[in-house]
Structure 1
Amino acid sequence: MIAALNRLVSLVEAADELDVAETAKELGTTEHHLRRMFSSLAGMPLSEYVRRRRMTMAAADVIRGRDDLLGIAVRYGYGSAEAFGRAFRAVHGASPGDVRRNGGPLRTQPRLTFRLTVEGGNPMETRIADRPAFRVAGHAARVPLIHRGPNPLIQQHIAGLPAAEHQRLKELSDTEPGGLLQVFDDLDSDRTEGSELTYLHGAAVTAGTPVPADLETLEVAAGAWAVFRTTEASLSETWAATATEWFPSNPWRLRPGPEIVVLVDREARELWLPVEGAQG
């Protein structure tokens, strides 16, 4: 995976237009997995890195002054000098004209290089679960993606449910993953901060289980899941470690599907990620 990411970075430098889906196929992986691993390890979405690198290279052309601004705009895929100027200002905080006259200010995005650092001090308690299709029933809300710290809208959503409702959901559960679930669906492939996702607080049920009319349902496709045992306190670290430690050293990759946190008890948690066997 590390080699695939470094090859992707090389293509960002070389290609005028980057076809991520085709690139992923050539690298023996999927667009979904490639984008997720990039954003997790780089700390920014692939689309944002491409934009910053394009504007870094464009800034050099602007300062050289060999071409007019429209010509530079077209070179970097913009149909007008105005559209190019807006994108340029969003990255550098100044217009191309100001930068050409004054030589700055500029905010440079260095080229990324991915390296695998082997530490091995903290083994991850993991198992692979093969599950048939199931449904999740519960209470859903649209919330923004927040990378650091608790999500206040999710906290409000959970706090708004009566205590008796949590018990009802637990009793509804009749298949693995069992008990109360925190389900994250419709996640942006780039994991862009602020992008919307569907959060569902509920329980897993089989296809034939009657679901009360006041609950929303989410269909979950059959497939394999990587299950990481952790604690409430270290859940965010475990989530991050799947990208930095587990996926680079195991023959699995993420497939499309919801990501699920199982509330085992007051302390213990299980993180369920949908996976498939990696090719090659």
Structure 2
Amino acid sequence: MISALNQLVALVEEHLAEELDVKVSATALGTTEYHLRRMFSSLAGMPLSEYVRRRRMTVAAADVVRGEDDLLSIAVRHGYGSTEAFGRAFRAVHGATPRAVRRDGGPLRTQPQLRFRLTVEGSTPMDTRVIERPAFRLIGHAARVPLIYQGINPHIQQHIATLPQQEHARLKALSNTEPAGLLAVSDDLAPDAPEGSELTYLHGVAVTQDTPVPDDLDAIGIPAGRWAIFHSAGPYPQALQATWAATATEWFPANPWRLRPGPSILTILERAEDFTTATCELWLPVEPA
């Protein structure tokens, strides 16, 4: 996977002035667009699209500062059809217009070319299992919420808080298949979604494929497939977020599996009364790499 990501970075450099076909590139690199985008954003800390934009504007800035060509020529050279479109992209990265940068020499915000390296980590073994599950359903109460990478998501907290206490007991009673108990489900998220983009969050349970769904509940159909299940225990949510990050930095590069489209599912096995610590399982849909 590390090699594939570095080859992707090289392809980005070759195609900075044009649209890179990530799907075709992923196939040539022996993986899928979904997995490639997910791994890139997890390890780079930004979506692939944002990295491409930053690199394109870093290279374009040198042309702007040199002042040898007019701004329209520079815009076209870097894949933009007008100085207006180029100016918007340029300002979004550098915080100033091309004309201001040409006049003042800055400010410039440089995005270096990325290099992915495999470091020696993994001194703590990851407690993981891979299972195959038949088709099932996730049912419960869904809401659209913004993505937040670090800390507790207040929008999810608010969504759960609006549910009556007896509704949690009702949902638990409906659960009749794995993963058991109340679940936190994240779905409809782009593979390289930036923080702040929306996802569907469902507070609910898993039921078998043929279980009738009450009219007042939302449902997500889950096809048959394999799941990697990661065990996490410790301070909440810090230990869980560390486990989530380690799936990209340690587990997937070391194992012959890749992510496939589908929701991520979190189940709380045990927790402290004040929720400062918890034992969790993180379910991620996978397929052979």
TM-score by length of structure 2 reads 0.94
AA aligned to 1:268 is T
Match for residue 274 of structure 1?
285
For residue 79 of structure 2, the aligned residue among 58, 77, 100 is 77
AA aligned to 2:99 is G
For residue 250 of structure 1, the aligned residue among 244, 250, 255 is 255
AA aligned to 2:130 is I
SS in 2 for 1:265: strand
Match for residue 93 of structure 1?
95
Q: What is the CA deviation profile of residues 131-162 of structure 1, one whole-angstrom value per residue up to 9, with x for unaligned ones?
A: 01100110000000011111101001111222
Structure 2 CA distance for aligned equivalents of residues 236 and 218 of structure 1: 24
Structure 2 CA distance for aligned equivalents of residues 128 and 119 of structure 1: 22
Alignment of 1:260 onto 2:271: no
Q: What is the CA deviation profile of residues 84-143 of structure 1, one whole-angstrom value per residue up to 9, with x for unaligned ones?
A: 011101111111111112211100001110001112211110000100110011000000
Match for residue 42 of structure 2?
40
Shift of 1:207: 1.7
CA RMSD of aligned residues (A): 1.0
Match for residue 14 of structure 1?
14
Alignment of 1:5 onto 2:5: yes
Question: What's the % identity of the aligned pairs?
Answer: 71
Structure 2 CA distance for aligned equivalents of residues 163 and 230 of structure 1: 26
Match for residue 202 of structure 1?
204
Structure 1 CA distance for aligned equivalents of residues 153 and 106 of structure 2: 37
Match for residue 161 of structure 1?
163
Match for residue 178 of structure 1?
180
Match for residue 243 of structure 2?
238
**Structure 2 gaps, min length 5:** 272-277
Is 1:185–1:259's contact at 8 Å kept on the other side of the alignment? yes
Structure 2 CA distance for aligned equivalents of residues 270 and 105 of structure 1: 46
Match for residue 274 of structure 2?
none
Structure 1 CA distance for aligned equivalents of residues 188 and 21 of structure 2: 22
Is 1:2–1:116's contact at 8 Å kept on the other side of the alignment? yes
Greater Cα offset, 28-37 or 184-193: 184-193
AA aligned to 1:155 is Q
**Structure 1 gaps, min length 5:** none
For residue 122 of structure 1, the aligned residue among 113, 124, 146 is 124
Shift of 1:56: 0.1
Structure 1 CA distance for aligned equivalents of residues 140 and 182 of structure 2: 10
SS in 1 for 2:200: strand
Shift of 1:185: 0.3
Q: What is the CA deviation profile of residues 160-180 of structure 1, one whole-angstrom value per residue up to 9, with x for unaligned ones?
A: 222221111111111111111
Greater Cα offset, 185-194 or 231-240: 231-240
